[in-house]
Amino acid sequence: MPLDAVEVPVAPSLDEAAGAALLALARDAVEAAVRRRASPRPEPAALPAVLRAPAAAFVTLHQDGELRGCMGHLEFDRPLWQNVLVAGRSAALEDPRFMPVTEAELPAIRIEVSVLAPPVELPGPEAFDARQHGIMVERAGRRALLLPQVAEAFGWDEATTLDAVCRKAGLAGDAWRWPSTRLFAFRSVRVAEPGFEA
């Protein structure tokens, strides 16, 4: 099936004010989690409309240009601001690849937030475009996701990206070629704090 036959929704657009509010929420969530304080509870009515609308989110932490945590909350029926708070806490404390962030590290942590549009199941791997899409794989109870910027950062093509997301899910690298493996594409938009290095 040609790529243009698969319509992958565009992620919500973020103006400067919305982006700044999103980053402030993520920063507050990370710092509250690390300091073992209650998560911030903003007044929703005071937030930009896009943050009150349903959307999923990932929060990525870098320290000195290196990945320090990345976790998402894929609840597409919950307001974006709520998902950012959960993802920020998870990125700081629950990424299984890293030890929890410490208070001493907080000044060096830089944050990026990715806002995801709902994923669309692909009819096959040929419909995936690594230049435009993030990718999610599901098979036999295993699931993993790679944000669009991962392929961009590493210069990966479609096959390399599909191999990587399968391995991330604990599957064989070529599991994306198997008929019963489900692939989902999505688009996202991201904002980052100054000094965040992709």
In this prediction, residue 9 carries a pLDDT of 86
Q: Are strands 109-116 and 120-121 parallel, antiparallel or unpaired?
A: unpaired
Provide the 10 A C-beta neighbour count for residue 153.
Answer: 11
The number of angstroms, rounded, from the C-alpha of 45 to the middle of its chain's C-alpha atoms is: 25
In this prediction, residue 197 carries a pLDDT of 76
Q: May I ask the CATH class of domain 16-117? A: alpha beta
Give the span between the Cα atoms of 2 and 94, in whole angstroms.
39
Give the span between the Cα atoms of 158 and 132, in whole angstroms.
11
Q: Do 132 and 187 contact (CB within 8 A), yes or no? A: yes
In this prediction, residue 5 carries a pLDDT of 59
Q: Which CATH superfamily is domain 119-186 in?
A: Hypothetical protein ph0010; domain 2 (3.30.1490.150)
Letter for the amino acid at 103?
A: E
In this prediction, residue 1 carries a pLDDT of 37
Give the span between the Cα atoms of 16 and 9, in whole angstroms.
22
How do the pLDDT tens digits run along the chain, 198 residues long?
A: 344 557 888 888 899 999 999 999 999 999 999 999 988 788 999 999 999 999 999 999 999 999 999 999 888 999 999 999 999 999 999 999 999 999 999 999 999 999 999 999 999 999 999 999 999 999 999 999 999 999 999 999 999 999 999 999 999 999 999 999 999 999 999 999 998 876
| Token pair of 105 as six digits | 């590290």
Nearest CA to 78 among 115, 127, 29, 24?
A: 115
In degrees to the nearest 10, what's the CA dihedral of 107, 56, 79, 21?
30
pLDDT digits (tens, 9 = 90+) for 136-185: 999 999 999 999 999 999 999 999 999 999 999 999 999 999 999 999 99
- The domain locations on the chain are 16-117, 119-186
Q: Strand (E) positions, the chain?
A: 56-63, 66-73, 109-116, 120-121, 134-139, 142-146, 182-186, 188-192
In this prediction, residue 91 carries a pLDDT of 97
